[in-house]
Amino acid sequence: MRTDAEGLVIMEKCVGDSDRLITVLTKEKGILRAFVQRPGRAKNGRLSATRLFSYSRFTVFEGRDKYIIDDARPIEVFFDLRKDIERLSLAQYFCELSLALAPQDSPAGEYLRLVLNALYFLGRGDRPARIIKSVVEMRMLALSGYQPDLVGCSECGRFESDTMYFLPVSGRIICGECGCPQGETSVRLGRGAMAGLRHTIYASLEKAFSFTLSPQGTEELGRAAEAYVLSTLSRGFATLDFYHATAGDTGWRG
């Protein structure tokens, strides 16, 4: 049986002398793994359409125990990502995060839109990479059922305070007036970073990347978002470590 799908290649692996196994984040089927047979001999664009970061239209043959890419046509290949190692490593992290969170055998259109938008802005290079990173982390967790409660202080309900504390393990916030609770990891947020954290979750996807923060606010937001990913999923990511190495920082450490 042959089916059509649109998706982004988020992983590729050589199999044998000339074939490859690719992992695709698709709109229709979520995470899909399929073989590309002898792509280098194709004359119809299948080689570029099945490379990492390629967003393509695929014709997929579904066998008894595996998928095979019968045809592929590129829509966008995101060449600009390869011009900067920091942004390239961040794009790889987004792919690994998608692999960890996006569903299999179920529609994943919102995940795909989120990552495509992030790669587009990364490639353009006109928005802070760390803000793009925070949006992807928080938004993808929310899509996966891990939406934190950022409406108000979980103790008194206060919406605004000069200082808020984000608790990544429980996914809630505490205002400065109530004080940071003892015994639970927290990330301090000023007003700007708190507004940014809320924006990553509650803004429409069309506006999710459209905000700016001071350097301090960007740093605070980045610590909160990364802490939430690592605490919620209870695992690290090799691509995240590589990103921090290229960016020259150590990232969040609980």
181-240, pLDDT tens digit by residue? 888 899 999 999 999 999 999 999 999 999 999 999 999 999 999 999 999 999 999 999
Q: What is the pTM of this model?
A: 0.94
Alpha-carbon distances, residue 156 vs 4, 147, 171, 175, 251 (angstroms): 51, 20, 16, 8, 31
pLDDT single digits (tens) 2-34: 888 999 999 999 887 668 899 999 999 999 999
Last residue of a domain, one of 76, 102, 128: 76
The 8-class DSSP code of residue 104 comes to B
In a domain, 252, yes or no: no
In a domain, 189, yes or no: yes
Range 208-225 burial, b when 16+ CB lie within 10 A, else e: bbebebeeebbebbbbbb
Domain that holds residue 48: 2-76
Last residue of a domain, one of 44, 76, 108: 76
59 with 98, same domain: the answer is: no
216 with 109, same domain: the answer is: yes
